[in-house]
Structure 1
Amino acid sequence: MPAASPDSRRRGTTASLRSLTENARFAAQLAWRADRRSLLQVLMAQLVSALGLLVVLLLVRHAIGGALPAVGGGPASGPQQRWLIPLLAGMVALGTGAGVLRVIAAARQRILAVKVDQYAVAQVLRAANRAELAEFEDPVFHDRLQRAVFASRSQPTMVVTALIGALQAVLTVGAVGAVFALTVWWLFPLALLSTLPTLQASRKERSAGYDLHHSLSENRRARQYLERLLTGRDEAKEIRSLGLGSTLRNRWSQQFRQEIEQVEDMHRAHVRRKITARLSGDLMTASVIAAMWWLVSVEAIGLPTAITALVGLWQISLRMQMIGALLNGLGESVLYLQDLRSFGMAPDGADAPQRPAEQGAFVALQADSVGFSYPGSAAPALKGVDVTLRAGEIVALVGVNGSGKTTLAKILAGLYRPSHGRLEFNGQPDPDPEQLRRTSAVVFQDFVRYKLPAVDNITYGRPEAQPDRERAALAAEHAGAHAFLTRLPDGYDTVLSKEFSEGSDLSLGQWQRLALARAFYRDSDFVVLDEPTASLDPQAEADLFGHIRELFAGRTVLLITHRFANVREADRIYVLDAGRIVEQGDHDCLLAADGMYARLYRLQAEAYQDAYVPGQAAGAAVAQKL
């Protein structure tokens, strides 16, 4: 697998305390935006629990102080002994209240977790939707997207949960520290020092885990793709036909073994460090206990104070171990949130569908010396292209595969920004790509087949408006799809996939008609048709191109096709070769010029002229005999 990018390797090792703090604050903001009510309730529960522990420790000290005289053989009753039972009852009541509070807080925390997950994933989907189309050609972008998706799923919830747990632990340590301040204040710093080795070991393991996560980004993306191949419905037929199953599984296993080996190496390196840190901390704690025992024996402190201090030390040790474990998971998750933050977060509602431009908005669109290079590509896809489209025209782009036709169409439709040169729309230079997208309707050669009801496949042409079934039926009629849609089990409400209950599938040609219906429903002034009949039968293809001016009356049409017979009626034809416009004109002018267009046109025409005609072979045989 290719090595991780320098940026990927650098982030984990250079993660500073400031970045950890900012990412933790970011997680808290996510929780606040997702469900502030639940967050406040959980935080209040933690605060009350910490205060309850403080009260319990003080009650323990008084209870022990009251019980000791009786244990030492003193009077069986007295002021201290009379208060012993109420103190114990109060401790039981506090424990009961704390238990009820934990149940309520746990329920609110689970609700908060679900809402934070939903909110974080929605933010990633918004950011992915806002990304420029050209970014999807960049493997670095896909690594960032994959890490952002990983970070959005459960990671914010883990951080919020860990922060809440850490807050509870900190509050508990604070409560115990208050008890120490009232009894043996000098013991508190020693108790904290005993936890430092564990915290430091956890920090180093956390950074190593994050670095490993970044280095494996592309490996995981490749595995996910192999998993889709092995489990996808559309891929199943070819994989079984070629017998590719074991080959793909072996490749998947090989790449998974790479991750397993790296994970083993990382944890093997940190296990010894963590064991050493734990033993060091426990040794320091044992030293504190021994010192406390000696102080009691020389009567430097009383036994109730010593017992209370040791209980507090035990609580601090437990809570600091909890904080260490939480920080270990929290720190790694917080670092992952950097991927979520850097991918880009949008304000709520930023992904609302845009309204397409009104009819008649398209006057002219011109490309002036436009060039374009795909990310990471050594050669440009387009070089110095000049194209003009005017309202109501049918303009065709033709050329061999890889000549840049589809790339140019995507630039004109606002899906790519030119790397060089500029566009001019309705006399305005450098139009906003969003404006071009609102003005256009594009039918791609590799159109999307939405596994949703048929009516949605059509009305998604105008997602900003309420679906109009009558308009959808009219668009389907124009595209030749109405007849077969009405024959489906639930008509236009049939889900178009056998993967769902009572769903139905369509042939590839029927899917292409549905994509055309979506373009008709959008009703834009500028229509881009990229091989719109590639999956249609010859009769359907002839019907579409025979009525293209009628079907798209008043609109500007940019037509991309390999079949030169379909562009003869175009107002203007541009011939592309290796990313450049080499010829332009109408059909007759280009034939008369006897250039690339004429040569390709004759090649296709000869293929049809040389086709087999029934009776010719028999006639030739008879002629030979004569």
Structure 2
Amino acid sequence: MIDNAGPVAMDRPPNLSPGRYGAMTRSAIRLIRRTSPKEAALTFGLEALIALSIPLQLLLVRWVIGRVVGVGGQTTLGEIVVPIIAIFAVFALTRILLAVAMGLRLVLPKLVSYAATEMLAAKAAALPLPVIEAPDTRTRLAQAQRDIEWRPLRMCADLILLVSSGVTIAGLLVLLVVVQPVLAVFVVVAYALMLRRTAGAMHAIYTYFVTSMDRDRKLSYLSTLMADIDAAKEVRCFGLADVLLGRLRLLQADSVTDLRSVGRQWARRYLIGGLWTAVMGACGLVYTLWQYSLGSMTLGAAVAAVGALLFLIIQGHQFASSAGRFYENAVFVENFWWFMDLPAAPTGTKAAPSGDGAHVTLDGVSFTYPGSDRPVLVDVSMEVRPGEIVALVGENGAGKTTLAKLLCGLYEPDTGAVRWNGRDLSDIDAARLRENVSVVFQDFVRYQLPARDNIVFGDVTALSDEPRMVAAAREAGAHDFVSVLPDGYDTVLGPEFAGAHEPSVGQWQRVALARAMFRQAPLMILDEPSAALDGRAEHDLFAGLARAAPDQAVMVISHRMSSVQMADRIYVLKDGRIVEEGRHAELMDRDGAYAELFALHAASGLGDGP
């Protein structure tokens, strides 16, 4: 949302009314002022002063000519020295102001870009997970992230030109009103018609950028996919390059076709507006010469008027071009403030989790993802007590990971309740809840940062606790390979940067486990924690869990049946419902859903067998 203009729908052309132009301009200024109010004020103040130098110098030229011609043609040298000195003083001062302004022109756009990047990242981190996962939010965020490196730079540069040209035009119009008011009428009429034609072109450009956001996101995805390190193996093994390139070219062809149409509209409208301005300027020059021939204007006034008309033609075209480029960036401005105005998740308004440990219960919990009509969880009831290792098993798509998100407070159940030591999570501050939860998701993040950061990020309040970091790495089985890296725990992990080390999949998983263990939270949730570990490492992991935190409540989500046999209690999730619970031996004796899963895994070599 931008000021009084609402967010623009991406599936329909926007209405670019004069009110919306004003709203977008205010939004751009709002972003610039948020960055550095003093430097912004100084930059635009200097630009305004520099812009006024043109009409001021024309006035001084009129003065000089008037002194040179004099009354009856008699003029002394002393009478023209002062205005000549004044002209050079204005010129020198303009050069000084321009030198200062050049430095600000270089710095201010970069400051805006950096500030916008920081604001966007902070806002994304503060939004509730359902909001950040919404398709519309993802599209707008992706577009803003792509544009944020260069759009603010261009936006600032074009806004500076708009201010400079606008002030110059205003000053020249005042000059014309002084020397010959009729000429000012010529210019105002010419500008009105030119801006009307230009506005249509700007609308076409703006519409193109708004309606192509989703397509641009697909283009970005395809091009990124072909260069992505993680996707590189499959792209080559399955020979996907030609298929992906074909789809990329089709989208590009559609984009270019639309852009060419917009380009033709812009060229046609700009040409007509420019020719009309030239015609009106020529009429103004003819009118000026006619008035001078009649003796209605002095030579100085005529020269000043002609100079003003010529400058107005140039400044008018510059103003129109800058306005067109500026409103190309309006899509970025709208996306940015639409995203920034989304309500962040409330923090600090509710109580912290009570009690020393974590006794977590789910009572009749059901959940459906926003935009879907298929429930993921239906009437789920279960509990995890302090000191217990509870396992949740089931086939893919059964709802196991969704349940983990509910326990982390990332989603709220549609019906039922999730309770922490008897208190409903809806009455607990989400941020404080997460301080008491440690989690390893199935798609855990591989931070392209030093190994120590990959571990201590588990608890940002203890980033410098070296002994605790090493202890967590030992418990997760990560210390042995991290300690022998070239720079030990200071070695950058991942393929992104030169000189970094790329761990194996299993080693990455151990690092993620170390991060979770470093947190030392009352509740630990492990989603497929041993998917990339061998049998011995898997056994050591669960033995380490019980040894490292005997009072910790642990929930293990897994499809590997060998991972859950030592759990204190096992829940079987099928089609979003709990269908069985008990210990391994009890569930095997019942010969139900758990026994069937175990047998299937044993037969396929994924489990240890009964």
TM-score, normalisation: structure 2: 0.91
Asked if 1:217 corresponds to 2:217, the answer is no
Distance 1:478 1:316 in 2: 75
Structural mapping, 1:41-190, within 5 Å:
41-68=42-69, 78-79=75-76, 81-190=77-186
Deviations along 1:177-196, one digit per CA (max 9) or x if unpaired, are 33223321232122121122
User: What is the total number of aligned residue pairs between the two structures?
Assistant: 600
Distance 2:335 2:8 in 1: 15
**In structure 1, the residue corresponding to 2:460 is in which secondary structure?**
coil
Distance 1:432 1:392 in 2: 24
For residue 619 of structure 1, what is the aligned residue in structure 2?
Answer: none
Against the structure 1 CA distance between its residues 499 and 606, is the aligned structure 2 distance closer, same or farther, given a 3 Å change threshold?
A: closer
Deviations along 1:253-306, one digit per CA (max 9) or x if unpaired, are 222111111101222233223222222222122222222222222222223212
Contact 1:151 1:339 in 2 (8 A): no
Distance 1:164 1:610 in 2: 67
Asked if 1:235 corresponds to 2:236, the answer is no
For residue 9 of structure 1, what is the aligned residue in structure 2?
Answer: 11
Asked if 1:459 corresponds to 2:460, the answer is no
Contact 2:8 2:14 in 1 (8 A): no
For residue 615 of structure 1, what is the aligned residue in structure 2?
Answer: none
1:233 maps to amino acid: I
Contact 2:198 2:269 in 1 (8 A): no
Larger radius of gyration: 1
**In structure 1, the residue corresponding to 2:365 is in which secondary structure?**
strand
Give the one of 461, 470, 473 matched to 2:467.
Answer: 470
Contact 1:49 1:98 in 2 (8 A): yes
Asked if 1:526 corresponds to 2:528, the answer is no
For residue 272 of structure 1, what is the aligned residue in structure 2?
Answer: 268
Asked if 1:400 corresponds to 2:395, the answer is yes
Distance 1:357 1:538 in 2: 39
Distance 1:580 1:560 in 2: 15
Against the structure 1 CA distance between its residues 364 and 212, is the aligned structure 2 distance closer, same or farther, given a 3 Å change threshold?
A: same
Distance 1:262 1:351 in 2: 42
Against the structure 1 CA distance between its residues 93 and 406, is the aligned structure 2 distance closer, same or farther, given a 3 Å change threshold?
A: same
Give the one of 362, 366, 370 matched to 1:367.
Answer: 362
Asked if 1:343 corresponds to 2:339, the answer is yes
Deviations along 1:212-269, one digit per CA (max 9) or x if unpaired, are 1122222222222222222222322332223322332222222211111110122223
2:329 maps to amino acid: S
For residue 595 of structure 2, what is the aligned residue in structure 1?
Answer: 598
Contact 2:176 2:305 in 1 (8 A): yes
Displacement, 1:99?
Answer: 1.8
Against the structure 1 CA distance between its residues 145 and 334, is the aligned structure 2 distance closer, same or farther, given a 3 Å change threshold?
A: same
Displacement, 1:564?
Answer: 2.2
For residue 411 of structure 2, what is the aligned residue in structure 1?
Answer: 416
Contact 2:200 2:269 in 1 (8 A): no
**In structure 1, the residue corresponding to 2:9 is in which secondary structure?**
helix
2:11 maps to amino acid: R
Distance 2:466 2:60 in 1: 72
For residue 492 of structure 2, what is the aligned residue in structure 1?
Answer: 495
Deviations along 1:316-355, one digit per CA (max 9) or x if unpaired, are 22222222122212223234311111112599x99999xx
Identity within the alignment, %: 33
Deviations along 1:487-524, one digit per CA (max 9) or x if unpaired, are 11111111113443322221111111111110111111
Q: Which moved more, 1:551-560 or 1:90-99?
A: 90-99
**In structure 2, the residue corresponding to 1:163 is in which secondary structure?**
helix
For residue 28 of structure 2, what is the aligned residue in structure 1?
Answer: 27
Give the one of 380, 386, 391 matched to 2:386.
Answer: 391
For residue 535 of structure 2, what is the aligned residue in structure 1?
Answer: 538
For residue 4 of structure 2, what is the aligned residue in structure 1?
Answer: none
Q: Which moved more, 1:123-132 or 1:85-94?
A: 85-94
Against the structure 1 CA distance between its residues 248 and 510, is the aligned structure 2 distance closer, same or farther, given a 3 Å change threshold?
A: same
Displacement, 1:529?
Answer: 0.7
Displacement, 1:402?
Answer: 0.8
Q: Which moved more, 1:587-596 or 1:399-408?
A: 587-596
Distance 2:104 2:363 in 1: 59
Against the structure 1 CA distance between its residues 299 and 208, is the aligned structure 2 distance closer, same or farther, given a 3 Å change threshold?
A: same
For residue 511 of structure 1, what is the aligned residue in structure 2?
Answer: 508
For residue 570 of structure 2, what is the aligned residue in structure 1?
Answer: 573
Asked if 1:200 corresponds to 2:196, the answer is yes
Q: Which moved more, 1:120-129 or 1:372-381?
A: 372-381
**In structure 2, the residue corresponding to 1:557 is in which secondary structure?**
strand
Distance 2:585 2:304 in 1: 101
Q: Which moved more, 1:20-29 or 1:195-204?
A: 20-29
Contact 1:126 1:350 in 2 (8 A): no
1:8 maps to amino acid: M
Displacement, 1:43?
Answer: 2.4
TM-score, normalisation: structure 1: 0.89
Against the structure 1 CA distance between its residues 547 and 44, is the aligned structure 2 distance closer, same or farther, given a 3 Å change threshold?
A: closer
Contact 1:415 1:437 in 2 (8 A): no
**In structure 2, the residue corresponding to 1:84 is in which secondary structure?**
helix
Give the one of 446, 456, 461 matched to 1:449.
Answer: 446
Contact 2:126 2:345 in 1 (8 A): no
**In structure 1, the residue corresponding to 2:431 is in which secondary structure?**
helix
Distance 1:427 1:609 in 2: 38
Displacement, 1:607?
Answer: 4.8
Q: Which moved more, 1:157-166 or 1:219-228?
A: 157-166
Q: Which moved more, 1:173-182 or 1:187-196?
A: 173-182
Contact 1:209 1:332 in 2 (8 A): yes
Deviations along 1:457-494, one digit per CA (max 9) or x if unpaired, are 11111124432222111111111111111111111111
Give the one of 294, 315, 329 matched to 2:290.
Answer: 294
Deviations along 1:581-618, one digit per CA (max 9) or x if unpaired, are 12223323323333211222233345559999xxxxxx
Contact 2:441 2:527 in 1 (8 A): yes
Displacement, 1:137?
Answer: 4.2
Distance 2:299 2:78 in 1: 20
Distance 2:297 2:326 in 1: 39
Against the structure 1 CA distance between its residues 564 and 58, is the aligned structure 2 distance closer, same or farther, given a 3 Å change threshold?
A: same
Q: Which moved more, 1:132-141 or 1:517-526?
A: 132-141
Displacement, 1:360?
Answer: 5.8
Distance 1:191 1:6 in 2: 35
Distance 2:605 2:322 in 1: 73
Distance 1:401 1:375 in 2: 20
Contact 1:395 1:557 in 2 (8 A): yes
- For structure 2, the 5+ residue unaligned runs are 1-6
For residue 38 of structure 2, what is the aligned residue in structure 1?
Answer: 37
Distance 1:575 1:547 in 2: 24
Against the structure 1 CA distance between its residues 432 and 14, is the aligned structure 2 distance closer, same or farther, given a 3 Å change threshold?
A: farther
Deviations along 1:98-125, one digit per CA (max 9) or x if unpaired, are 1221121011121111111000111111
**In structure 1, the residue corresponding to 2:372 is in which secondary structure?**
coil
Asked if 1:548 corresponds to 2:545, the answer is yes
Contact 1:8 1:215 in 2 (8 A): yes
Against the structure 1 CA distance between its residues 576 and 610, is the aligned structure 2 distance closer, same or farther, given a 3 Å change threshold?
A: closer
Asked if 1:562 corresponds to 2:562, the answer is no
2:83 maps to amino acid: L
Contact 2:446 2:508 in 1 (8 A): yes
Against the structure 1 CA distance between its residues 187 and 496, is the aligned structure 2 distance closer, same or farther, given a 3 Å change threshold?
A: same
Displacement, 1:577?
Answer: 0.9
CA RMSD of aligned residues (A): 3.0
For residue 309 of structure 2, what is the aligned residue in structure 1?
Answer: 313
Distance 1:498 1:377 in 2: 37
